[in-house]
Chains A and B, each alone.
Chain A
Amino acid sequence: MKIDIRHIAKLSKLSIPEDQIERFEKEMQSIIQLVENLPEIEGKATAVDTENTMELRADEVVASASREDMLMNAPQVAAGCIVMPKVVE
């Protein structure tokens, strides 16, 4: 399989310098090679494993965290909110 590093990088929100594209392509190709050797197996993985299920949570309020704690790693805070560059739509 040919890997389009530029497309994948764009989807991944990574910018890969032009001079490194080839190296990444080669490295990923070698990993993908492992995958190419997968057998052609029949069937489909079970969507829901009913033998291994989880418990759900009751709809009960748990005290929220302090805003100060929640924002302490933010690069910029104003008016109780995280500030980020303007979103251009």
Chain B
Amino acid sequence: MNNKYEIVVGLEVHAELSTKTKIFCGCKNEFGAEVNTNVCPVCMGLPGTLPVLNEKVVEYGIRMGHALNCTINRATKHDRKNYFYADLPKAYQTTQDDVPLCANGYLDILVGDETRRIGITRLHIEEDTAKLIHADEFGGTLIDFNRCGVPLIEIVSEPDMRSAEEAKVYLETLRTILLYLGISDAKMQEGSIRADVNVSVRPVGAKEYGVRVETKNVSSFSGVYNAIVYEANRQIEVLENGGELFQETRRWDDAAGKNVLMRSKEDAQDYRYFPEPDLLGYVIPEELVEKLKAELPELPVQKTLRYMNECGLSRADAETIALSKDKAFFFDACMATGKCGPKLLSNWVLGEITRVANERRCEISELPLTVENLVDMIALIENKTISNAAAKTVFEIIVDKDEKPADIVKAKGLAQISDTSALQTIVDSVIAANEKAINDYKGGRTNVLGFLVGQCMKQSKGQGNPAMFKEMMIAAIENS
């Protein structure tokens, strides 16, 4: 990247909402159903049909608006955006134009060690389009209307991002918020989040924005990153070669890793917005707006900061937990018991527990593991009743069965031995059996100590306190 230039990025993110039904009809909103089965005259856009707005869509939109610190327009309405495209059966999309549901918000994101505030211009609700399936065997294109009328929110940011990395973090943060709020499946691979990326470049220090180019059809995190880097480089190259940039729309080709011109400014769409005459305006009760605000959970960035500042977790650990609703909710539930500390807990959540969940391809919340059993087990480690090695044995059991860790420790005799005389016997026998290692240690190769302690642990069948072994071993060798 040429460091004479600054990149300016704004994102338009579309997310499908996970309501039970579509936005304007009672057809099921589900991914992966057999083609054209979740359809009716309304979502097929047959002549004579009318939309009736789903109240849940409005509610979900307001939730997201609150999460993005927006003003909620309690009196709002819908508009038609007219254009011809094969996936749009009415030749207009029912969306919101001049009175979006939410406006003027912001989202704080963590980039490197910095908190960056990204302005949110607006958030509105609208309908998704049909899916076109290119099928040469039928000599054309097939239309599946299952997705047609699935509710979307569109979140438009200010041009406040200054790198591809920031845009990627912004998108990831948005995605996590959608999951936290439980309003979207937010699966990029299923197309439930899609982004249009606006990029411009300007000489470092310049006040005016450069010419903005929109790249459409970006549907992965890496795609957003790559699309921005590609477009910024393309623009810089044009400028460096003395060329001129045009306000145009380009299409991202993820497989090829490049974009191609879709529409020049001359062909810019004239959407001819006007108020949707099939719907009236509506006023959202203030109580509902307030209730939804009160129900807002702690959001990922706040969580990350809390984990760092109050729990003392590293930035990386804090973020990894907070960016996953599943991990974060489990972590918080454990912390809420007050029975264990955060550090060991975060190691377990990010280590063993995540490993098992990944192996089983499920969420932590779907494991039989209970919060109580886990925190009891960690408390046993923390008060040195059991070693980490013994804890693994306990974990293998409690991950599947609701058994009390204390009972398991008792039944299996896993409690750590801290009785000095019992440990001394083992230390002595290890010293006797490893003359060479002892000499090596005395000769300065102190790293054999680990091996010797390991031998002690082995003899104690894992029940010896490794710290005490280490201490006693050093004392014994030095005194010999």
Contacts and interface: CB of A to CB of B under 8 A. Distances in A.
- Touching in the complex, A and B, CB below 8 A? yes
A80 interface: yes
A20 B435 CA distance: 109
Nearest to B47: A73
B141 A53 contact: no
B279 A70 contact: no
B28 interface: yes
Contacts of A84: 86, 140-143
A59 B39 contact: no
A30 B309 CA distance: 73
Contacts of B143: 81-84
Contact of A64 (B40, B132, B142): B40
A35 interface: no
Interface stretch (B54-62, B237-245, B371-379, B444-452): B54-62
A31 interface: no
B206 interface: no
Contacts of A57: 26, 52-55
A61 B54 contact: no
B33 to A, nearest CB: 9
A84 to B, nearest CB: 5
Contact of B138 (A54, A58, A64, A83): A83
A50 B37 CA distance: 37
A59 B142 contact: no
B144 A64 contact: no
Interface in A14-51: 47-50
Contacts of A81: 35-36, 133, 142-144
A64 B28 contact: yes
Interface string B21-54: 1000111100000111111110010100000111
B408 interface: no
A41 B442 CA distance: 101
A56 B55 contact: yes
A79 interface: yes
Contacts of B145: 70
A57 to B, nearest CB: 5
B294 interface: no
A65 B46 CA distance: 12
A60 interface: yes
Interface stretch (B280-288, B346-354, B389-397, B454-462): B280-288
Interface residues of B, number: 54
B19 interface: yes
Contacts of A85: 140-141
A13 B84 contact: yes
Nearest to A45: B275
Contacts of B470: none
A48 B76 contact: yes
Contacts of A62: 21, 25-27, 40
A50 B56 CA distance: 21
A86 interface: yes
Interface string A69-89: 011000010111111111101
Interface string B134-148: 111011111111000
Given A50-B75, A78-B138, A87-B141, A59 B20 contact: yes
A1 interface: no
Contacts of A78: 135, 138, 142
A2 interface: no
Contacts of A64: 27-28, 37-40
A65 B55 contact: no
A9 to B, nearest CB: 13
A49 B280 contact: yes
Nearest to B282: A53
B404 interface: no
Interface string B165-208: 00000000000000000000000000000000000000000000
Nearest to A54: B280
A64 B134 CA distance: 25
Interface of B: 19-21, 25-28, 34-41, 44, 46, 52-58, 75-77, 84, 86, 98-99, 132-136, 138-145, 251, 262, 270, 272, 275, 279-283
Q: Lowest 5 CB-CB distances: which A-B pairs, in order?
A: A62-B26, A81-B142, A59-B56, A48-B281, A56-B55
28 contacts: A11-B270, A13-B84, A47-B77, A47-B275, A48-B75, A48-B76, A48-B281, A49-B281, A52-B280, A53-B280, A56-B58, A57-B26, A57-B55, A59-B55, A60-B20, A61-B26, A61-B27, A62-B27, A64-B38, A65-B41, A67-B37, A67-B39, A70-B41, A70-B44, A79-B142, A83-B143, A86-B141, A89-B262
Given A67-B36, A85-B141, 13 more contacts: A48-B77, A49-B281, A58-B54, A59-B19, A64-B38, A67-B37, A67-B39, A70-B41, A81-B143, A84-B86, A84-B140, A84-B143, A87-B141
